A and B are shown apart, each in its own frame.
Chain A
Amino acid sequence: MAQKFQKKIIPLLRESVNSFVANPIILFPFVTTAFIQLFILEIIYFAPRFPLVYFFGPIIRRMAGEAYLHYPQHLLILPKWFQTAQYFLFIFVSSFLIAVAIEIIKNVNNNKKVTFANALRAMLPQYVHICLAAILTFFVFYALSKLQGSIIGRALQIRSDAGIFYMVKAVVLYGAPYFNLLIGTFATAVFAFVLPLIVIEHKKVLQAVVLNFKYLWGSFWFIFFVVLIPMLFYVPVLLLQSNLSSIASQTLEGVRLLSPAISIIVLTFIDATVYTAVTIHFLLKKESA
Protein backbone atom coordinates (compact mmCIF):
# COMPACT_ATOMS: atom_id res chain seq x y z
CA MET A 1 0.00 0.00 0.00
CA ALA A 2 2.52 2.61 1.13
CA GLN A 3 5.38 2.88 -1.30
CA LYS A 4 7.28 6.08 -0.77
CA PHE A 5 6.80 9.17 1.40
CA GLN A 6 5.49 12.16 -0.47
CA LYS A 7 3.66 15.22 0.82
CA LYS A 8 1.07 15.66 -1.94
CA ILE A 9 -2.56 15.97 -0.99
CA ILE A 10 -4.42 14.63 -4.02
CA PRO A 11 -2.16 11.58 -4.58
CA LEU A 12 -2.49 10.75 -0.89
CA LEU A 13 -6.28 10.96 -1.03
CA ARG A 14 -6.30 8.90 -4.24
CA GLU A 15 -4.10 6.30 -2.53
CA SER A 16 -6.51 6.31 0.40
CA VAL A 17 -9.54 5.62 -1.82
CA ASN A 18 -7.61 2.97 -3.79
CA SER A 19 -6.65 1.29 -0.51
CA PHE A 20 -10.16 0.73 0.72
CA VAL A 21 -11.40 -0.18 -2.74
CA ALA A 22 -8.67 -2.84 -2.96
CA ASN A 23 -9.13 -3.88 0.67
CA PRO A 24 -12.83 -3.44 1.52
CA ILE A 25 -12.17 -4.76 5.02
CA ILE A 26 -10.82 -1.26 5.84
CA LEU A 27 -14.39 0.02 5.33
CA PHE A 28 -15.88 -2.54 7.70
CA PRO A 29 -15.45 -0.51 10.94
CA PHE A 30 -16.80 2.63 9.22
CA VAL A 31 -19.78 0.74 7.80
CA THR A 32 -20.41 -0.73 11.26
CA THR A 33 -20.39 2.78 12.73
CA ALA A 34 -22.85 3.87 10.04
CA PHE A 35 -25.05 0.87 10.81
CA ILE A 36 -25.13 1.73 14.52
CA GLN A 37 -25.91 5.38 13.73
CA LEU A 38 -28.72 4.46 11.33
CA PHE A 39 -30.10 2.02 13.91
CA ILE A 40 -30.14 4.77 16.57
CA LEU A 41 -31.78 7.13 14.08
CA GLU A 42 -34.50 4.54 13.47
CA ILE A 43 -35.08 4.12 17.19
CA ILE A 44 -35.35 7.91 17.71
CA TYR A 45 -37.68 8.13 14.69
CA PHE A 46 -40.01 5.47 16.09
CA ALA A 47 -39.64 6.62 19.72
CA PRO A 48 -43.07 8.32 19.99
CA ARG A 49 -44.94 5.34 18.52
CA PHE A 50 -46.14 2.05 19.93
CA PRO A 51 -44.34 0.07 21.37
CA LEU A 52 -41.26 2.29 21.91
CA VAL A 53 -43.39 5.12 23.28
CA TYR A 54 -43.81 3.19 26.53
CA PHE A 55 -40.10 3.59 27.18
CA PHE A 56 -39.29 6.85 25.38
CA GLY A 57 -42.60 8.68 25.99
CA PRO A 58 -41.79 9.80 29.57
CA ILE A 59 -38.24 10.78 28.52
CA ILE A 60 -39.45 12.91 25.57
CA ARG A 61 -42.22 14.43 27.71
CA ARG A 62 -39.73 15.36 30.42
CA MET A 63 -36.92 16.62 28.22
CA ALA A 64 -38.79 18.31 25.37
CA GLY A 65 -42.47 18.51 26.34
CA GLU A 66 -45.72 16.75 25.48
CA ALA A 67 -45.97 18.39 22.04
CA TYR A 68 -42.84 16.59 20.85
CA LEU A 69 -44.51 13.20 21.26
CA HIS A 70 -46.71 14.10 18.32
CA TYR A 71 -46.33 14.37 14.58
CA PRO A 72 -44.75 16.50 13.13
CA GLN A 73 -43.17 18.27 16.14
CA HIS A 74 -41.29 15.08 16.97
CA LEU A 75 -39.43 15.41 13.67
CA LEU A 76 -38.17 18.82 14.78
CA ILE A 77 -36.29 17.38 17.76
CA LEU A 78 -35.12 14.32 15.84
CA PRO A 79 -31.94 15.96 14.42
CA LYS A 80 -31.09 17.52 17.79
CA TRP A 81 -31.47 14.27 19.68
CA PHE A 82 -29.62 12.37 17.02
CA GLN A 83 -26.80 14.91 17.21
CA THR A 84 -26.56 14.41 20.98
CA ALA A 85 -26.58 10.62 20.54
CA GLN A 86 -23.79 10.99 18.01
CA TYR A 87 -21.56 12.77 20.54
CA PHE A 88 -21.73 9.78 22.88
CA LEU A 89 -21.41 7.40 19.99
CA PHE A 90 -18.29 9.20 18.77
CA ILE A 91 -16.62 9.02 22.17
CA PHE A 92 -17.47 5.45 23.09
CA VAL A 93 -17.98 3.59 19.79
CA SER A 94 -16.96 5.44 16.60
CA SER A 95 -13.51 6.42 17.86
CA PHE A 96 -12.85 2.80 18.84
CA LEU A 97 -13.97 1.54 15.44
CA ILE A 98 -11.75 4.16 13.75
CA ALA A 99 -8.87 2.74 15.79
CA VAL A 100 -9.84 -0.74 14.60
CA ALA A 101 -9.75 0.57 11.01
CA ILE A 102 -6.27 2.01 11.62
CA GLU A 103 -5.14 -1.37 12.97
CA ILE A 104 -6.53 -3.03 9.82
CA ILE A 105 -4.71 -0.51 7.57
CA LYS A 106 -1.48 -1.17 9.49
CA ASN A 107 -1.84 -4.94 9.02
CA VAL A 108 -2.73 -4.56 5.34
CA ASN A 109 0.37 -2.39 4.95
CA ASN A 110 2.50 -5.06 6.64
CA ASN A 111 0.91 -7.76 4.44
CA LYS A 112 -0.39 -9.52 7.55
CA LYS A 113 -3.54 -11.61 7.59
CA VAL A 114 -6.39 -9.27 8.51
CA THR A 115 -9.70 -10.04 10.17
CA PHE A 116 -12.07 -7.59 11.80
CA ALA A 117 -12.30 -9.75 14.93
CA ASN A 118 -8.51 -9.87 15.35
CA ALA A 119 -8.20 -6.09 14.89
CA LEU A 120 -11.01 -5.58 17.39
CA ARG A 121 -9.31 -7.83 19.95
CA ALA A 122 -5.98 -6.08 19.40
CA MET A 123 -7.55 -2.71 20.12
CA LEU A 124 -9.44 -3.62 23.29
CA PRO A 125 -6.50 -2.96 25.68
CA GLN A 126 -6.22 0.53 24.19
CA TYR A 127 -9.93 1.33 24.63
CA VAL A 128 -9.51 3.80 27.52
CA HIS A 129 -6.81 5.76 25.71
CA ILE A 130 -8.90 5.84 22.52
CA CYS A 131 -11.93 7.15 24.44
CA LEU A 132 -9.82 9.80 26.18
CA ALA A 133 -8.41 10.90 22.82
CA ALA A 134 -11.97 11.12 21.47
CA ILE A 135 -13.04 13.17 24.50
CA LEU A 136 -10.14 15.54 23.86
CA THR A 137 -11.10 15.99 20.19
CA PHE A 138 -14.73 16.41 21.15
CA PHE A 139 -13.85 18.98 23.83
CA VAL A 140 -11.90 21.12 21.35
CA PHE A 141 -14.75 20.85 18.83
CA TYR A 142 -17.32 21.69 21.53
CA ALA A 143 -15.33 24.68 22.83
CA LEU A 144 -14.90 26.08 19.33
CA SER A 145 -18.60 25.49 18.58
CA LYS A 146 -19.50 27.37 21.78
CA LEU A 147 -17.25 30.22 20.66
CA GLN A 148 -19.03 30.19 17.32
CA GLY A 149 -22.34 30.22 19.19
CA SER A 150 -21.35 33.35 21.08
CA ILE A 151 -20.24 35.01 17.82
CA ILE A 152 -23.64 34.14 16.32
CA GLY A 153 -25.29 35.60 19.43
CA ARG A 154 -23.35 38.82 18.96
CA ALA A 155 -24.16 38.90 15.23
CA LEU A 156 -27.87 38.59 16.02
CA GLN A 157 -27.64 41.85 17.94
CA ILE A 158 -26.54 43.71 14.81
CA ARG A 159 -29.47 45.82 13.66
CA SER A 160 -28.02 47.12 10.37
CA ASP A 161 -29.97 46.39 7.17
CA ALA A 162 -27.09 47.33 4.88
CA GLY A 163 -23.36 48.08 4.87
CA ILE A 164 -20.38 46.32 6.36
CA PHE A 165 -22.05 45.32 9.63
CA TYR A 166 -24.96 43.76 7.77
CA MET A 167 -22.46 41.82 5.64
CA VAL A 168 -20.67 40.59 8.75
CA LYS A 169 -24.00 39.52 10.22
CA ALA A 170 -25.02 37.75 6.99
CA VAL A 171 -21.69 35.92 6.72
CA VAL A 172 -21.79 34.81 10.37
CA LEU A 173 -25.43 33.67 10.25
CA TYR A 174 -25.72 32.15 6.78
CA GLY A 175 -22.22 30.74 6.91
CA ALA A 176 -22.72 29.11 10.33
CA PRO A 177 -23.00 25.49 9.10
CA TYR A 178 -19.92 25.94 6.88
CA PHE A 179 -17.90 27.50 9.71
CA ASN A 180 -18.98 24.56 11.85
CA LEU A 181 -17.67 22.23 9.17
CA LEU A 182 -14.36 24.10 9.30
CA ILE A 183 -14.30 23.75 13.08
CA GLY A 184 -14.82 19.98 12.70
CA THR A 185 -12.04 19.88 10.14
CA PHE A 186 -9.73 21.84 12.42
CA ALA A 187 -10.44 19.61 15.45
CA THR A 188 -9.82 16.48 13.36
CA ALA A 189 -6.61 17.91 11.88
CA VAL A 190 -5.22 19.09 15.24
CA PHE A 191 -5.46 15.58 16.69
CA ALA A 192 -4.98 13.70 13.42
CA PHE A 193 -2.06 11.54 14.58
CA VAL A 194 -3.31 10.79 18.09
CA LEU A 195 -5.24 7.64 17.12
CA PRO A 196 -2.51 6.31 14.76
CA LEU A 197 0.01 6.84 17.60
CA ILE A 198 -2.18 4.99 20.11
CA VAL A 199 -2.92 2.16 17.66
CA ILE A 200 0.36 1.73 15.79
CA GLU A 201 2.89 2.89 18.38
CA HIS A 202 0.83 1.68 21.38
CA LYS A 203 1.32 5.06 23.06
CA LYS A 204 -0.75 6.25 26.01
CA VAL A 205 -3.08 9.15 25.38
CA LEU A 206 -0.87 11.90 26.84
CA GLN A 207 2.24 10.67 25.06
CA ALA A 208 0.22 10.36 21.88
CA VAL A 209 -1.01 13.95 22.14
CA VAL A 210 2.53 15.28 22.68
CA LEU A 211 3.94 13.21 19.82
CA ASN A 212 0.97 14.20 17.66
CA PHE A 213 2.01 17.84 17.86
CA LYS A 214 5.58 16.84 17.03
CA TYR A 215 4.35 15.03 13.91
CA LEU A 216 2.05 17.93 13.05
CA TRP A 217 4.86 20.47 13.28
CA GLY A 218 5.47 21.79 9.77
CA SER A 219 2.73 19.70 8.21
CA PHE A 220 -0.41 21.04 9.89
CA TRP A 221 -1.77 22.73 6.76
CA PHE A 222 -1.03 19.63 4.70
CA ILE A 223 -3.07 17.51 7.14
CA PHE A 224 -5.73 20.23 7.36
CA PHE A 225 -6.30 20.06 3.58
CA VAL A 226 -6.15 16.26 3.61
CA VAL A 227 -9.11 16.45 6.01
CA LEU A 228 -10.80 19.42 4.37
CA ILE A 229 -10.94 18.20 0.76
CA PRO A 230 -13.02 15.06 1.51
CA MET A 231 -15.09 17.19 3.92
CA LEU A 232 -16.16 19.36 0.97
CA PHE A 233 -18.31 16.44 -0.20
CA TYR A 234 -20.42 17.22 2.87
CA VAL A 235 -21.37 20.67 1.54
CA PRO A 236 -24.34 19.35 -0.52
CA VAL A 237 -25.66 17.74 2.69
CA LEU A 238 -25.39 21.13 4.44
CA LEU A 239 -27.28 22.75 1.55
CA LEU A 240 -29.98 20.09 1.88
CA GLN A 241 -30.16 20.69 5.65
CA SER A 242 -30.50 24.46 5.27
CA ASN A 243 -33.40 24.01 2.84
CA LEU A 244 -34.97 21.14 4.72
CA SER A 245 -37.85 23.10 6.24
CA SER A 246 -39.07 24.38 2.90
CA ILE A 247 -38.60 20.95 1.26
CA ALA A 248 -40.50 19.29 4.12
CA SER A 249 -43.36 21.80 3.96
CA GLN A 250 -43.73 21.26 0.19
CA THR A 251 -43.44 17.48 0.29
CA LEU A 252 -43.64 15.31 3.38
CA GLU A 253 -42.53 16.08 6.93
CA GLY A 254 -40.88 12.64 6.93
CA VAL A 255 -38.23 14.08 4.60
CA ARG A 256 -36.61 15.41 7.77
CA LEU A 257 -35.48 11.84 8.49
CA LEU A 258 -33.69 11.69 5.15
CA SER A 259 -31.20 14.44 5.98
CA PRO A 260 -29.47 12.69 8.93
CA ALA A 261 -29.57 9.37 7.02
CA ILE A 262 -27.80 10.90 4.00
CA SER A 263 -25.43 12.70 6.36
CA ILE A 264 -24.42 9.35 7.95
CA ILE A 265 -23.73 7.71 4.61
CA VAL A 266 -21.70 10.65 3.24
CA LEU A 267 -19.72 11.00 6.49
CA THR A 268 -18.90 7.28 6.47
CA PHE A 269 -17.03 7.65 3.18
CA ILE A 270 -15.47 10.96 4.24
CA ASP A 271 -14.20 9.43 7.51
CA ALA A 272 -12.92 6.35 5.72
CA THR A 273 -11.01 8.51 3.23
CA VAL A 274 -9.62 10.89 5.86
CA TYR A 275 -8.49 8.32 8.42
CA THR A 276 -7.07 5.98 5.76
CA ALA A 277 -5.15 8.92 4.25
CA VAL A 278 -3.85 10.08 7.64
CA THR A 279 -2.80 6.54 8.57
CA ILE A 280 -1.05 6.00 5.24
CA HIS A 281 0.71 9.34 5.68
CA PHE A 282 1.70 8.38 9.22
CA LEU A 283 3.07 5.00 8.10
CA LEU A 284 5.00 6.58 5.22
CA LYS A 285 6.40 9.25 7.52
CA LYS A 286 7.47 6.59 10.00
CA GLU A 287 9.05 4.43 7.34
CA SER A 288 10.95 7.38 5.87
CA ALA A 289 12.22 8.50 9.29
Chain B
Amino acid sequence: MKKVIPIYLGILAGVFVLLSLLGRNSDYAIEQAAWKLQREYIDILKDPKVVPEQTFARIIKDYQKIIERYPDSKLTPGLRMIVGNVYLVKKDYETSREKFNEIIKLYPQNKELQAQAHSAIGRTYEAQDNWPGARKVYDRIVADYALTRTGLGVPIHIANHYKAQNDYQKAMDAYDRAIAHYNTLAAQNPDSPAEYSSLRYLGNCYLDQKRWREAVEVFGKVTDKYGRPEHMNIRTLDTILKTINTVSVYQLKNYEFPLQIYQDIIAKNPNHPWKSYFQKMIDTLSTLKAKSVQVPQTQ
Protein backbone atom coordinates (compact mmCIF):
# COMPACT_ATOMS: atom_id res chain seq x y z
CA MET B 1 0.00 0.00 0.00
CA LYS B 2 2.73 2.45 1.05
CA LYS B 3 4.62 1.75 -2.18
CA VAL B 4 1.56 1.82 -4.40
CA ILE B 5 0.28 5.30 -3.56
CA PRO B 6 3.51 7.04 -4.69
CA ILE B 7 3.46 4.88 -7.85
CA TYR B 8 -0.14 5.92 -8.62
CA LEU B 9 0.63 9.58 -7.89
CA GLY B 10 3.76 9.32 -10.02
CA ILE B 11 1.82 7.90 -12.97
CA LEU B 12 -0.89 10.59 -12.68
CA ALA B 13 1.68 13.40 -12.37
CA GLY B 14 3.77 11.92 -15.19
CA VAL B 15 0.81 11.67 -17.56
CA PHE B 16 -0.27 15.20 -16.61
CA VAL B 17 3.19 16.66 -17.26
CA LEU B 18 3.66 14.67 -20.47
CA LEU B 19 0.29 15.67 -21.95
CA SER B 20 0.79 19.29 -20.83
CA LEU B 21 4.18 19.39 -22.58
CA LEU B 22 2.93 17.69 -25.74
CA GLY B 23 -0.01 20.07 -26.01
CA ARG B 24 1.79 23.25 -25.03
CA ASN B 25 1.81 24.61 -28.58
CA SER B 26 -1.70 23.48 -29.49
CA ASP B 27 -4.54 25.86 -30.27
CA TYR B 28 -6.15 24.86 -27.00
CA ALA B 29 -3.11 26.21 -25.09
CA ILE B 30 -3.43 29.54 -26.94
CA GLU B 31 -7.15 29.68 -26.23
CA GLN B 32 -6.36 29.07 -22.58
CA ALA B 33 -3.72 31.80 -22.55
CA ALA B 34 -5.95 34.29 -24.38
CA TRP B 35 -9.18 33.56 -22.49
CA LYS B 36 -8.62 35.83 -19.51
CA LEU B 37 -7.37 38.59 -21.79
CA GLN B 38 -10.41 38.16 -24.00
CA ARG B 39 -12.66 38.72 -21.02
CA GLU B 40 -10.72 41.84 -20.04
CA TYR B 41 -11.06 43.07 -23.62
CA ILE B 42 -14.84 42.52 -23.50
CA ASP B 43 -14.88 44.39 -20.17
CA ILE B 44 -13.12 47.43 -21.61
CA LEU B 45 -15.56 47.47 -24.53
CA LYS B 46 -18.39 48.09 -22.06
CA ASP B 47 -17.09 51.52 -21.09
CA PRO B 48 -13.70 52.32 -22.62
CA LYS B 49 -13.73 55.90 -21.30
CA VAL B 50 -13.21 54.81 -17.70
CA VAL B 51 -10.43 52.35 -18.50
CA PRO B 52 -7.02 53.61 -17.32
CA GLU B 53 -4.22 53.96 -19.83
CA GLN B 54 -2.09 51.30 -18.11
CA THR B 55 -4.88 48.70 -18.46
CA PHE B 56 -4.87 49.19 -22.24
CA ALA B 57 -1.08 48.98 -22.23
CA ARG B 58 -1.07 45.80 -20.15
CA ILE B 59 -3.71 44.06 -22.29
CA ILE B 60 -1.85 44.95 -25.48
CA LYS B 61 1.45 43.78 -23.98
CA ASP B 62 -0.09 40.47 -22.86
CA TYR B 63 -1.61 39.89 -26.30
CA GLN B 64 1.76 40.67 -27.93
CA LYS B 65 3.41 38.13 -25.64
CA ILE B 66 1.01 35.39 -26.81
CA ILE B 67 1.51 36.43 -30.45
CA GLU B 68 5.29 36.25 -30.05
CA ARG B 69 5.07 32.87 -28.33
CA TYR B 70 2.76 31.32 -30.95
CA PRO B 71 3.56 33.21 -34.18
CA ASP B 72 2.47 30.43 -36.50
CA SER B 73 -0.78 29.39 -34.87
CA LYS B 74 -3.96 29.70 -36.91
CA LEU B 75 -5.39 31.69 -33.99
CA THR B 76 -2.65 34.33 -34.07
CA PRO B 77 -4.22 36.43 -36.87
CA GLY B 78 -7.34 36.74 -34.72
CA LEU B 79 -5.22 37.90 -31.78
CA ARG B 80 -3.52 40.48 -34.02
CA MET B 81 -6.97 41.74 -35.03
CA ILE B 82 -7.86 42.13 -31.36
CA VAL B 83 -4.69 44.16 -30.74
CA GLY B 84 -5.74 46.50 -33.57
CA ASN B 85 -9.21 46.72 -32.06
CA VAL B 86 -7.82 47.53 -28.59
CA TYR B 87 -5.99 50.50 -30.15
CA LEU B 88 -9.24 51.47 -31.88
CA VAL B 89 -11.14 51.38 -28.59
CA LYS B 90 -8.29 53.35 -27.02
CA LYS B 91 -8.84 55.93 -29.79
CA ASP B 92 -5.24 55.57 -30.95
CA TYR B 93 -6.43 55.42 -34.56
CA GLU B 94 -3.04 55.75 -36.23
CA THR B 95 -1.54 52.80 -34.35
CA SER B 96 -4.75 50.84 -34.87
CA ARG B 97 -4.47 51.31 -38.65
CA GLU B 98 -0.79 50.40 -38.45
CA LYS B 99 -1.69 47.12 -36.77
CA PHE B 100 -4.39 46.30 -39.32
CA ASN B 101 -2.01 47.16 -42.19
CA GLU B 102 0.55 44.81 -40.66
CA ILE B 103 -2.06 42.03 -40.83
CA ILE B 104 -2.73 42.81 -44.50
CA LYS B 105 1.00 42.50 -45.23
CA LEU B 106 1.56 39.43 -43.01
CA TYR B 107 -1.24 37.28 -44.41
CA PRO B 108 -1.49 38.03 -48.13
CA GLN B 109 -2.99 34.63 -48.87
CA ASN B 110 -5.90 35.03 -46.44
CA LYS B 111 -8.51 37.05 -48.36
CA GLU B 112 -11.13 36.95 -45.63
CA LEU B 113 -8.68 38.20 -43.01
CA GLN B 114 -7.47 40.93 -45.35
CA ALA B 115 -11.05 42.04 -45.94
CA GLN B 116 -11.63 42.08 -42.18
CA ALA B 117 -8.49 44.15 -41.63
CA HIS B 118 -9.55 46.62 -44.36
CA SER B 119 -13.01 46.80 -42.85
CA ALA B 120 -11.47 47.50 -39.43
CA ILE B 121 -9.44 50.31 -40.98
CA GLY B 122 -12.72 51.66 -42.38
CA ARG B 123 -14.14 51.57 -38.85
CA THR B 124 -11.21 53.61 -37.53
CA TYR B 125 -12.06 56.33 -40.07
CA GLU B 126 -15.73 56.14 -39.14
CA ALA B 127 -14.77 56.51 -35.47
CA GLN B 128 -12.89 59.67 -36.45
CA ASP B 129 -15.98 60.93 -38.31
CA ASN B 130 -14.00 60.67 -41.52
CA TRP B 131 -16.61 59.10 -43.78
CA PRO B 132 -14.77 59.90 -47.05
CA GLY B 133 -11.72 58.02 -45.68
CA ALA B 134 -13.91 55.10 -44.58
CA ARG B 135 -15.80 55.08 -47.88
CA LYS B 136 -12.55 54.87 -49.84
CA VAL B 137 -11.57 51.76 -47.86
CA TYR B 138 -15.05 50.23 -48.20
CA ASP B 139 -15.07 50.81 -51.96
CA ARG B 140 -11.74 49.01 -52.15
CA ILE B 141 -13.16 46.06 -50.22
CA VAL B 142 -16.13 45.87 -52.63
CA ALA B 143 -13.75 45.97 -55.59
CA ASP B 144 -11.05 43.58 -54.31
CA TYR B 145 -12.77 41.30 -51.79
CA ALA B 146 -16.34 41.15 -53.10
CA LEU B 147 -16.81 37.44 -52.44
CA THR B 148 -15.46 37.37 -48.90
CA ARG B 149 -17.93 37.30 -46.01
CA THR B 150 -16.80 40.77 -44.95
CA GLY B 151 -16.87 42.05 -48.52
CA LEU B 152 -20.42 40.84 -49.03
CA GLY B 153 -21.62 42.88 -46.06
CA VAL B 154 -20.03 46.16 -47.13
CA PRO B 155 -22.55 47.48 -49.73
CA ILE B 156 -25.46 47.24 -47.30
CA HIS B 157 -23.26 48.72 -44.56
CA ILE B 158 -22.65 51.79 -46.72
CA ALA B 159 -26.40 52.15 -47.36
CA ASN B 160 -27.14 51.72 -43.65
CA HIS B 161 -24.62 54.45 -42.85
CA TYR B 162 -26.50 56.97 -45.01
CA LYS B 163 -29.79 55.79 -43.54
CA ALA B 164 -28.43 56.36 -40.01
CA GLN B 165 -27.36 59.86 -41.13
CA ASN B 166 -30.93 60.49 -42.35
CA ASP B 167 -29.54 61.20 -45.81
CA TYR B 168 -32.53 59.73 -47.67
CA GLN B 169 -31.34 60.29 -51.21
CA LYS B 170 -27.84 58.91 -50.66
CA ALA B 171 -29.29 55.99 -48.72
CA MET B 172 -31.67 55.08 -51.58
CA ASP B 173 -28.86 55.42 -54.13
CA ALA B 174 -26.62 53.23 -51.98
CA TYR B 175 -29.39 50.61 -51.63
CA ASP B 176 -29.90 50.65 -55.41
CA ARG B 177 -26.17 50.14 -55.94
CA ALA B 178 -26.14 47.37 -53.30
CA ILE B 179 -29.11 45.67 -55.00
CA ALA B 180 -27.37 45.80 -58.37
CA HIS B 181 -24.17 44.49 -56.78
CA TYR B 182 -25.89 41.57 -55.03
CA ASN B 183 -27.89 40.69 -58.14
CA THR B 184 -24.69 40.58 -60.18
CA LEU B 185 -22.86 38.45 -57.59
CA ALA B 186 -25.80 36.05 -57.31
CA ALA B 187 -25.95 35.70 -61.11
CA GLN B 188 -22.18 35.23 -61.44
CA ASN B 189 -21.94 32.66 -58.65
CA PRO B 190 -24.89 30.30 -58.98
CA ASP B 191 -25.28 27.46 -56.46
CA SER B 192 -22.60 28.76 -54.14
CA PRO B 193 -22.27 30.24 -50.65
CA ALA B 194 -21.70 33.60 -52.37
CA GLU B 195 -25.12 33.37 -54.05
CA TYR B 196 -26.73 32.38 -50.76
CA SER B 197 -25.21 35.35 -48.89
CA SER B 198 -25.86 37.74 -51.79
CA LEU B 199 -29.54 36.76 -51.89
CA ARG B 200 -29.93 37.23 -48.14
CA TYR B 201 -28.35 40.71 -48.32
CA LEU B 202 -30.49 41.45 -51.38
CA GLY B 203 -33.63 40.55 -49.43
CA ASN B 204 -32.55 42.84 -46.59
CA CYS B 205 -31.95 45.71 -49.03
CA TYR B 206 -35.51 45.27 -50.35
CA LEU B 207 -36.83 45.25 -46.80
CA ASP B 208 -34.95 48.47 -46.03
CA GLN B 209 -36.42 50.00 -49.17
CA LYS B 210 -39.89 48.72 -48.19
CA ARG B 211 -40.08 46.77 -51.47
CA TRP B 212 -42.03 44.04 -49.71
CA ARG B 213 -43.02 41.82 -52.61
CA GLU B 214 -39.47 41.68 -54.00
CA ALA B 215 -38.15 40.98 -50.50
CA VAL B 216 -40.52 38.03 -50.07
CA GLU B 217 -39.65 36.72 -53.55
CA VAL B 218 -35.94 36.80 -52.75
CA PHE B 219 -36.35 35.14 -49.34
CA GLY B 220 -38.59 32.55 -51.00
CA LYS B 221 -35.79 31.86 -53.48
CA VAL B 222 -33.26 31.55 -50.61
CA THR B 223 -35.57 29.09 -48.84
CA ASP B 224 -36.16 27.10 -52.00
CA LYS B 225 -32.47 26.86 -52.99
CA TYR B 226 -30.69 26.88 -49.67
CA GLY B 227 -33.28 25.91 -47.07
CA ARG B 228 -31.55 22.65 -46.27
CA PRO B 229 -29.45 21.43 -43.33
CA GLU B 230 -26.26 21.51 -45.40
CA HIS B 231 -26.61 25.28 -45.99
CA MET B 232 -28.30 26.63 -42.86
CA ASN B 233 -29.48 25.54 -39.46
CA ILE B 234 -33.14 25.37 -38.45
CA ARG B 235 -32.90 28.66 -36.53
CA THR B 236 -31.76 30.53 -39.64
CA LEU B 237 -34.56 28.93 -41.63
CA ASP B 238 -36.99 29.91 -38.90
CA THR B 239 -35.83 33.55 -39.07
CA ILE B 240 -36.24 33.61 -42.87
CA LEU B 241 -39.70 32.00 -42.77
CA LYS B 242 -40.87 34.37 -40.06
CA THR B 243 -39.69 37.29 -42.20
CA ILE B 244 -41.60 35.90 -45.21
CA ASN B 245 -44.75 35.36 -43.11
CA THR B 246 -44.61 38.70 -41.32
CA VAL B 247 -44.01 40.72 -44.48
CA SER B 248 -46.63 38.80 -46.46
CA VAL B 249 -49.35 38.96 -43.81
CA TYR B 250 -48.68 42.37 -42.25
CA GLN B 251 -47.42 44.39 -45.21
CA LEU B 252 -48.83 42.65 -48.28
CA LYS B 253 -51.99 41.30 -46.55
CA ASN B 254 -51.52 38.19 -48.59
CA TYR B 255 -51.62 34.65 -47.23
CA GLU B 256 -51.41 33.04 -50.66
CA PHE B 257 -47.89 34.27 -51.33
CA PRO B 258 -46.09 32.40 -48.50
CA LEU B 259 -48.43 29.40 -48.89
CA GLN B 260 -47.46 29.12 -52.54
CA ILE B 261 -43.74 29.30 -51.68
CA TYR B 262 -43.94 26.49 -49.10
CA GLN B 263 -46.26 24.32 -51.20
CA ASP B 264 -43.92 24.64 -54.20
CA ILE B 265 -40.93 23.62 -52.06
CA ILE B 266 -42.72 20.50 -50.79
CA ALA B 267 -44.01 19.65 -54.29
CA LYS B 268 -40.50 19.95 -55.76
CA ASN B 269 -38.86 18.05 -52.86
CA PRO B 270 -41.27 15.44 -51.44
CA ASN B 271 -38.45 14.07 -49.26
CA HIS B 272 -37.26 17.45 -48.04
CA PRO B 273 -35.54 17.02 -44.63
CA TRP B 274 -37.56 19.93 -43.21
CA LYS B 275 -40.81 18.98 -44.93
CA SER B 276 -42.74 18.75 -41.62
CA TYR B 277 -41.56 22.23 -40.71
CA PHE B 278 -42.84 23.68 -43.97
CA GLN B 279 -46.08 21.71 -43.57
CA LYS B 280 -46.53 23.23 -40.10
CA MET B 281 -46.16 26.71 -41.63
CA ILE B 282 -48.72 25.84 -44.33
CA ASP B 283 -51.18 24.55 -41.71
CA THR B 284 -50.77 27.63 -39.51
CA LEU B 285 -51.15 30.06 -42.41
CA SER B 286 -54.14 28.11 -43.77
CA THR B 287 -55.86 28.25 -40.38
CA LEU B 288 -55.26 32.00 -40.13
CA LYS B 289 -56.51 32.44 -43.68
CA ALA B 290 -59.64 30.36 -43.00
CA LYS B 291 -60.39 32.43 -39.93
CA SER B 292 -59.78 35.53 -42.08
CA VAL B 293 -57.57 37.00 -39.40
CA GLN B 294 -57.10 40.64 -40.25
CA VAL B 295 -53.81 42.08 -39.17
CA PRO B 296 -53.27 45.76 -38.54
CA GLN B 297 -50.57 47.66 -40.39
CA THR B 298 -47.60 48.03 -38.08
CA GLN B 299 -45.85 50.87 -39.85
Contacts and interface: CB of A to CB of B under 8 A. Distances in A.
Nearest to A74: B28
B1 A39 contact: no
B273 interface: no
B12 A39 contact: yes
Interface string A49-72: 111110000000000000001111
B12 A42 contact: yes
A27 interface: yes
B4 A253 contact: no
B23 A50 contact: yes
A71 B22 contact: no
Contacts of A46: 19-20, 23
A35 B11 CA distance: 9
A25 B32 CA distance: 41
Contacts of A253: 32, 35
Binding site of A, secondary structure by majority: helix, strand, loop or mixed?
helix
A42 B19 contact: yes
B15 A71 contact: no
A173 interface: no
B252 interface: no
A70 B1 contact: no
Would you call the interface of chain B mostly helix, strand, loop, or mixed? helix
Contacts of A74: 28
Interface residues of A, number: 25
B277 interface: no
Nearest to A70: B31
A35 B12 contact: yes
B168 interface: no
Contacts of B106: none
A53 B2 contact: no
Contact of B1 (A27, A51, A52, A254): A27
B15 A28 contact: no
Nearest to A28: B1
B28 A70 contact: yes
A24 B2 contact: yes
B12 A38 contact: yes
A97 B158 CA distance: 69
A184 interface: no
Contacts of A53: 26, 28
A31 interface: yes
Nearest to A24: B1
Interface string B22-36: 110111110110011
B16 interface: yes
A39 B18 CA distance: 13
B19 A52 contact: yes
B164 interface: no
B2 A50 contact: no
A85 to B, nearest CB: 16
11 contacts: A25-B1, A31-B1, A39-B11, A49-B28, A52-B23, A53-B26, A53-B28, A71-B28, A71-B35, A72-B32, A252-B36
Given A27-B1, A53-B28, A70-B27, 12 more contacts: A24-B1, A28-B1, A32-B4, A35-B8, A42-B12, A42-B16, A49-B19, A49-B29, A71-B31, A71-B32, A72-B31, A72-B32
